[in-house]
Structures are given as C-alpha cells and as structure tokens.
C-alpha cells in the first residue's frame, strides 16, 4: 500500500494524461451495466406479460365454455318443452281427435311441423358436452330447435282454430264415434273383450281419416293385450 501511495504521489501528473480515457471507460462500463439491467428488466416484463396473457386466455376459454354449456342447455330445454307439448297429443288419442290436424299429413303446416321435429331430433346430441367448442354444430342445432318450436306453434294454433272443420259432416261423425270408442278402449273398468272390440272399431272409423301416432297406438295395444292375457 505504501508503495502504491508513493507511486501515485510521484506520478499524479499521469491523471492529466489518461484521465479522459479512464473517465470514458468508466462511463462506458456504467452504460453497459445499465443496458444489461434494462434488458434483464425488459425480459422480466415480457415474461410477466406473457404469463398474464396466458392466464387471461385460460380464463376466457373457461368463461366461454361455461357460456356455451348454458346456451346448449337452454336449447336442449326448449327441445324438451316442445316435445312435451307434442306428447300431449301423441300420447292422448282422445285429445288428438279434438284437433286431428296435428297428424293430418294432407296439411302443409302439419307436414312442416313433423319435418322440423325430425330435423331437430336428428341433430340433438347424445351428450351435450360434445357440442362444446363446436360452434357450427351449436348453431345448426339451435336453428333446428327454434324451427321445430315455431312450426309446432303454428300447426297447433291452426289445429285449434279448425278443430274438425276440415272434415265433412260424415267424417266428423266418424271422428266423434272413434273418440268415444277410444275412451272405452282405454277404460280400465271395461272388460278386455269390450276394450279390444272398441279399439278395433275405432281403428276402422279412423281408417283413411288420420293416422294414429305409433307411440300412443302401441301403448294402448299393449294395455289391451295385457288385460286379455291376464
């Protein structure tokens, strides 16, 4: 240390010679350190921003999926509600004969309703979860269900307005008689033979007028057959 101090005391004049260079070097080192610090800070900011954006994207995906599930559930519910309204006719033959247009395939509105129902049924997913993320399938199913519900509303309104007015007086008599016979066929208090006979006669009266829905027909035939076999 004494030697270094001695050297500096005798060579102080060197500071005037190399002072500028040393000062410049010190400044350069300082600037380089600042640039490195700034680069590190920028990298840190970029990493943080990336993490934030990823978190936002994930949150958006989760939110979007929840929204999709709610919308799909609404569409399925609308489908179920429209089905329930139709089943009120399909599974009640007596009610159906008050509004026979609901199954009268000579009527364009009836044809459109049944076509719309068939399309909605075909597009209905077995598992609604399978539609999440498939926007095209969601839109197609949604439009089909809306079309089904509207077609049903239009057909039902016209059927209620007309009731049996689209049939001749003779055909209306057959409808009334068939309705009375179907009530007897569904009467658990009647004998199996009476019920079977009433059903056969009702089918004969309805032949050429309207087609009984397959589900209701099968259910009634099963009940009658069960009583006969008991």
DSSP string computed for 27-48: HHHHHHHHHHHHHHHHHHHHHH
Residues 124-150 have a mean pLDDT of 93
Note whether 138 and 72 are within 8 A (CB): yes
As a whole number of angstroms, the distance between CA 82 and CA 185 comes to: 28
Note whether 187 and 220 are within 8 A (CB): no
Beta-strand (E) ranges in 88-230? none
Question: 21 — phi, psi (to 5°)?
Answer: -65, -40
Residue 52 has pLDDT above 60, yes or no: no
Residue 84 has pLDDT above 90, yes or no: yes
Residues 71-85 have a mean pLDDT of 95
pTM over 0.75: no
230 — pLDDT class (breaks 50, 70, 90): very low
Residue 207 has pLDDT above 80, yes or no: yes
- pLDDT at residue 208, as a whole number: 83
As a whole number of angstroms, the distance between CA 46 and CA 54 comes to: 12
Residues 138-142 have a mean pLDDT of 93
Token pair 């979007």: residue: 64
Note whether 167 and 100 are within 8 A (CB): yes
- pLDDT at residue 229, as a whole number: 46
């Amino acid at each position: 240390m004494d030697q270094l101090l001695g050297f500096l005391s005798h060579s102080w004049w060197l500071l005037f010679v190399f002072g500028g260079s040393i000062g410049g070097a010190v400044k350069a080192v300082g600037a380089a350190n600042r640039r490195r610090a700034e680069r590190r800070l920028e990298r840190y900011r970029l990493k943080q921003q990336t993490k934030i954006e990823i978190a936002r994207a994930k949150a958006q995906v989760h939110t979007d999926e929840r929204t999709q599930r709610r919308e799909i559930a609404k569409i399925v519910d609308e489908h179920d509600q429209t089905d329930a309204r139709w089943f009120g006719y399909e599974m009640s033959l007596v009610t159906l004969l008050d509004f026979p247009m609901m199954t009268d395939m000579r009527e364009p509105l009836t044809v459109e309703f049944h076509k719309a129902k068939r399309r909605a049924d075909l597009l209905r997913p077995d598992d609604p979860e399978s539609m999440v993320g498939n926007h095209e399938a969601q839109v197609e199913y949604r439009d089909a269900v809306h079309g089904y519900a509207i077609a049903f509303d239009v057909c039902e309104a016209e059927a209620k307005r007309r009731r049996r007015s689209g049939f001749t007086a003779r055909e209306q008599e057959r409808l009334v008689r068939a309705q009375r016979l179907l009530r007897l066929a569904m009467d658990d208090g009647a004998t199996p033979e009476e019920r079977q006979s009433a059903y056969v006669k009702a089918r004969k009266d309805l032949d050429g007028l309207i087609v009984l829905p397959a589900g209701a027909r099968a259910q009634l035939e099963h009940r009658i057959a069960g009583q006969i076999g008991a």
